[in-house]
Chains A and B, each alone.
Chain A
Amino acid sequence: MKKKLLSILLTTAMAAALLSGCGEAAPAPAAEAPAAEDASAEAEAEAPAAAAEAGSNSLTVWAWDANFNIPALKAAEADYKENVDADFTLNIVEQSQSSDIENAITLAGSSGDYSQLPDIVLFQDHYIQRYVADYPDAWIDVEDSGTDWSDFGAEKLSYSTIGGKHYGFPVDNGTCIMAYRVDLLEEAGYTIDDMTDCTWEKFIEVGEKVYEKTGKYLLSMDGDGNDLFYLMLQAEGMSQFKDGKPYITENETLVQIVNIIKEMCEKNVCYLANDWGDYTDQTIMGDMVAGVMNGNWIIPTIRQVAENSGKWEITNMPTIKGGGGYAANGGSSLYVTSNSKNPELAKKFLAATFGGSSQTYDNALRDGGVVTCCISAGKSDVYNEGVEYFNNTPVYAQIVEMSGHVPVIEQNDFHYSCRRYLAAAMININNGADVMEELKNAEDQLNFEMEGAAQ
């Protein structure tokens, strides 16, 4: 009798152990630390630690890409340590990709719990406007940081300026480069000067020759994300959107560009890879191409192929009518969140580093290949050094110079959606579908999606 009672009690107790364990933890998550969970206890300690150290000199930042953005942040940390505060520490939490941070903001905003956000986040330029609009409580502006904004390219700042206020510090410069294998051009009978300021027509002519002589494509692109449309359109000063609406079937320039891409694919001038990995690994690192056109952050990928050192040079993009095209792709900026316990320090740190410090930008370039958006920082010696891989030309100074020419075009929250639908259309077009029909489908689907979010 007693035994059975005991057994029931015991069972209940054991079953409840789970839940009671949770209950205890609820008010003070950091305090709860069962013996077996040392690591998690340490982990828990971290969030409150950020709070406890408010007023001290440590900041937490979330960023992605260990070979690119993170070295830039480390350079900034070292800069600040050396020149402002020797006790400063920057706690960098690596994320797998930009969407991790977007999801974290979405989750925080949806649940109203911003307490897990770090002081600073790196955020994709094309998304930030929407996230500031949807979750205004997640951010604080950086107007009073004392930064000279006129020192940055207008196109880059157009993303991080919302409602007339500056919210972000630009990190990398997405200015598009058109890189050519000079040795292969030569084999086909051309020089880099022939390609500078050229038309797409000329580009196709050269591309056919290059493919014939060397078996390499003059251009490759990720067919899934399709940066190609966007870059070609921007180089013409046009957007996929007009007055907040999709501008696709009625956009003659876009239709023309689609036809150019189709022609390039047919004539083996351009190779559309299946996805991003295929694009970087197969086409660029796999040495399939004689030309690469993308944001300058593609340079570290090009440089992976050591045996082609000295054979590359860069110039501007072709355009429909010729005369040099400029565009920007990708790129991100650093934003201070409302959860920062020490927003003054965060702003001060960002202003003193990404706000225009040559030391930060020089090291970011050296360690991560991150090219500055800050025009004066781009004039340093490091930027003007010839780069051996690019035939000793000062490519980085060239890029900073080009970044000043990138036209500001209409942006939209549905930027990437639009690109995805257009990419799908392009794949179908290359497989023989009708151009206008496919573009109409893409436009319909985009309108459908935008309607859904607007209701």
Chain B
Amino acid sequence: MIKKNRSMVQRRLIPTYIFLGIVSFLSVFPLYWMATAATNSTVEVARGKIIFGTQLANNMQKLLASQDLWGAMTNSFIYALAQTIVALFVCSLAGFGFELYHDKQKDRLFGILLLSMMVPGVATMIPLFKMMSTFGFLNTVWGFMLPAISTAFLIMMFRQNSRSFPVDIMEAARIDGVSEFGIYWRMYLPVMKATYAAAAVITFMNAWNAYLWPRVVMTSKDAQTMPMLIANLAAGYSVDYGVLMLGVLFCSVPTMVIFFILQKQFAEGITGAVK
């Protein structure tokens, strides 16, 4: 009886499976295409070949000869990691403060801070560049991440997630003599692990994929990042598509891996954000 029921349920879900199957295919196909392109020559790519070819080693050799791939990977990794750690700390602290110490004034301040999401990046580039050059931050990790550390989005995420944080425990802890920062450091931080994971995935992806701003502040050869390297490959009088797609592959894999690793926590963290 139960078994029959189950198969009936699954039968009801057939359209769902088909739909999800199609959507999944469409989502993954362009990425598959990118992977095949990395193994083909530029002429083959231009002609629309979509099966794996034999040019991978060749493309790799060309890529390494023309670009400092490992240098750019290392830079991107360090910058993105630094930005993620600092941003998580700063924004979680703010989200914690906004929600768990909230009053009218703070809510109003939060509303104002939300406005920063609406500032178009192009408009702030010149004033920011002037600032960075005055501080001497050009070509430094500070120049790279300072404008992106504190974002209304992350603060909002931590603020929303903090709603599930048990306030009673805070009071109890205070009575036990736990300091205010101790509450953040020893209670909030461990409880909010999933939110941190979700925020880390988002911040890391943004930092890793940032292009316009890094191009402006990171002028030195040794400060190049992966998106800059790809842009270098994509420009010029003639573009080698096989090599370009190999570069794109190298640029995409780390963020995908991070997503795979943190997938479960990511989902949980986002869940908290909207409870």
Contact = CB atoms under 8 A, between A and B. Distances in A.
Contacts of A28: 136
A286 B220 CA distance: 37
Contacts of B139: 29, 40, 43-44, 46-47, 116
Given A10-B181, A18-B86, A43 B235 contact: no
14 contacts: A3-B178, A8-B180, A11-B180, A15-B93, A21-B142, A43-B139, A43-B223, A68-B236, A92-B221, A94-B221, A96-B235, A116-B220, A280-B239, A301-B238
Given A11-B180, A40-B75, A93-B221, 8 more contacts: A4-B179, A4-B180, A14-B89, A21-B142, A37-B82, A47-B139, A65-B236, A67-B240
A interface residue count range (under 10 / 10 to 19 / 20 to 34 / 35 or more): 35 or more
A282 B46 contact: yes
Interface stretch (A107-115, A131-139, A186-194, A380-388): A107-115
Contacts of A93: 219-221
Contacts of B81: 36
B137 A25 contact: yes
Interface of B: 42-43, 46-47, 66-67, 71, 74-75, 78-79, 81-82, 86, 89-90, 93, 126, 129-130, 133-142, 144, 146, 149, 177-182, 184, 215-216, 218-223, 228, 231-241
Contacts of B236: 64-68, 97
Interface string A9-20: 011001100100
B180 A65 contact: no
Contact of A3 (B90, B177, B219): B177
Interface string A83-114: 00000000111111100100110010011010
A43 B76 CA distance: 13
A37 B141 contact: yes
A298 B129 CA distance: 36
B71 to A, nearest CB: 8
Q: Is the interface of B mostly helix, strand, loop or mixed?
A: helix
B136 A27 contact: yes
A245 to B, nearest CB: 30
B231 A96 contact: yes
B136 A8 contact: no
A6 B223 CA distance: 39
B181 A11 contact: yes
Contact of B42 (A10, A42, A68, A304): A304
Contact of A281 (B86, B90, B218, B239): B239
B142 A25 contact: yes
Given A7-B181, A44-B140, A107 B75 contact: no
A64 B133 contact: no
Nearest to A294: B237
A285 B220 contact: no
